[in-house]
Amino acid sequence: MEPAGAERAVDGPEWEDLAGRSPRFRRTAGLIERLRKVPRVALGAWPTPIQRVIRPGRSDLLIKRDDLSGFGRGGAKARKLTHLLGHLRARGHGELLAIAGNVTNLAFDLLLAVELAGIRTRLFIVDEPPATAVDRAKIFAGAVDRVVLLRGGRAKATAVILGAYAAARRAGRRPFLALPGASHPACVIGNACGFLEMVDQLGAQHAPLPRAVYVTAATGTTVAGFLLAAEALRAVGGPAIQVIGVQVHPGPIALRTRMLTRWTERFLETEQRTPVGPGNFVRSSERFAHFGQSVSRLCSRVEEELAIRLDPIFGGKTWAAMEADVAANAPGERPVLYWHCGYTPEWQTLQPSLTAPLELRS
């Protein structure tokens, strides 16, 4: 195993030196600079390292260690929150209302982030996937004053959340209602900046960029950011990088991601139209948070061989999809990259109620 992470941030390619190529180039180069200048707050330690695994006879593997971001539980969630809180401050929002399910990493990092930022918040937890009252009490024990555990289905939950939003407006707190997974252009931009960070790191080392990036996908926010940045890079003459989101939550993920991408493009006032389609996704279990024994064994193997902790609810499924790709394709000069989005300790608490024989399938 050979480390390939940069110790410091770098400026990346000198876009302005190339801007004479075409008007489209200048517009895209301008988009990249706008991405870098979007308001943000200081969360985490960036850049996170890139770990390289040399594998004779197979493509090299890169691992983007966002689990080492140094904030909360680590992962791409800190990138979302860095830019979401920057957006809230810039727009003068005084309260944040957010929605999550029983199995969540974002919620815990969000509660920590808003506390540091001094923003009032309430987090509404929908009973998905269904869990016992005892398990829910264990998971959210440290945040009972800011968490509302909801039951009764999505319709009832929506009514409660909209009622809280209306009450906050009447109180003059200028609330911000975050969609599930923090689905907002500011969060998409945070992940786009993370993708550009990876490009900068490898560029500083004169190392080839990956041919494919694998990342866990639930709401599509992270994938939307990666696709936005990958298309901008390609438009200014960089190599094509395939972005593959491994879907761990049911629903029309490609449609959601396309809508988020278009929303972000309008937010940035760019003419870029990023391609998004079913080919950007691999489907895992249809039952969110369930996993088979093979994924659990894979997580144990990765920890033993590489000292990297994965959980079988999120990261383990993404690693399995990445390994299947590598096994099905001949080795190439460009590596494959796995984006480590963090670790979910609750999988062990919930394991008895989540055990199922469903396995990864594409």
DSSP string covering 212-279, please? EEEEEESSSHHHHHHHHHHHHHHHTTPPP-EEEEEE-S-S-HHHHHHHHHHHHHHHHT--------GG
Instruction: Band the pLDDT of 309: cuts 50, 70, 90.
Output: very high
Residue 12's pLDDT is 41
Query: How many other C-beta atoms can be found within 10 angstroms of the C-beta atom of residue 222?
Result: 33
User: 16 pLDDT exceeds 60?
Assistant: no
Q: Which residues contact 99 (CB under 8 A, 6 or more apart)?
A: 123, 124, 125, 126, 157, 161, 178, 179, 180
Q: So what's the pLDDT on residue 232? A: 93
Judge whether 124 and 161 are in contact, CB under 8 Å.
yes
Does residue 323 surpass a pLDDT of 80? yes
Give phi and psi for 317, each to the nearest 5: -70, -40
Helix, strand or coil, per DSSP, at residue 280: helix
Q: How far apart are CA 87 and CA 318, in angstroms?
A: 30
Dist CA 176 CA 88 (whole Å): 8
Q: How big is the CA angle at 115 (ends 179 and 170), to the nearest 5 degrees?
A: 60
Name the fold adopted by 2-73+184-354: Rossmann fold (3.40.50)
Which of 12-21, 264-273, 335-344 has the weakest average pLDDT?
12-21
pLDDT at 184 over 70: yes
Residue 23 has pLDDT above 70, yes or no: no
Query: pLDDT-based confidence at 330, cuts 50/70/90?
Result: confident
Phi, psi of 124 (to 5 degrees): -100, 120
pLDDT value at 6 more than 50: no
Q: Which residue has the higher pLDDT, 27 or 156?
A: 156
Instruction: Give the H/E segment covering residue 150.
Output: none
* pLDDT value of residue 28: 62
Give yes or no for residue 17 having a pLDDT over 50: no
- pLDDT of amino acid 241: 96
pTM: 0.85
**Mean pLDDT (whole number) for 21-28:** 52
pLDDT value at residue 315: 92
Its CATH architecture, for the domain 76-182, is 3-Layer(aba) Sandwich (3.40)
Per the prediction, the chain carries an average pLDDT of: 84
If you average pLDDT over residues 275-304, what whole number do you get?
86
Half-sphere exposure for 55 (CA within 13 Å, toward CB): 20
Contact call for residues 226 and 213 (beta carbons, < 8 A): yes
Residue scoring higher pLDDT (350 or 226): 226
Q: Over the stretch 228-238, which tens digit does the pLDDT of each residue have? A: 999 999 988 88
Band of residue 169 on the pLDDT scale cut at 50, 70, 90: very high
* Rg (the chain; Cα; Å): 20
The model's confidence at residue 10, banded by pLDDT at 50, 70 and 90, is very low
Q: Give the residue among 335, 323, 321, 319 at the shortest CA–CA distance from 211.
A: 335
* Measured distance CA(262)–CA(256) in Å, rounded: 10
DSSP string over 335-361: -EEEEE----THHHHHHHHHB------
pLDDT of 156: 82
Task: With beta carbons less than 8 A apart as the criterion, state whether 192 and 35 touch.
Answer: yes
Please report, rounded to a whole number, the percentage of residues in the chain having pLDDT higher than 70.
87
- Decide if pLDDT at 336 tops 50: yes
Q: What does the pLDDT look like over 198-246, one tens digit per residue? A: 999 999 999 999 999 999 998 899 999 999 999 999 988 889 999 999 9
Domain with CATH 3.40.50.1100 in the chain: 2-73+184-354, 76-182
Rounded alpha-carbon distances, angstroms, from residue 147 to 35, 101, 113, 121: 32, 11, 15, 9
The pair of structure tokens assigned to 194 is 């993370």
What confidence score (pLDDT) does residue 327 get?
82
Is-contact 227 274, C-beta < 8 A? yes
The DSSP H or E segment spanning 316 is helix 315-328
Triad 247, 242, 309: Cα angle to 5°: 50
- Rounded-to-integer distance, Cα 349 and Cα 135, Å: 7
Share of the chain above pLDDT 90, in %: 48
| Whether the predicted pLDDT of 174 surpasses 80 | yes
Instruction: Give the containing element (helix H, strand E) for 281.
Output: strand 281-283
Q: What is the band of 275 on the pLDDT scale with cuts at 50, 70, 90?
A: very high
What is d(CA 316, CA 58) in angstroms, rounded to the nearest whole number? 20
| Cα 52 from Cα 63, distance rounded (Å) | 6
Per-residue pLDDT tens digits for 65-109: 999 998 888 777 889 999 999 999 999 998 999 988 888 888 888
State residue 27's pLDDT score: 56
CA 216 to chain centre: 7
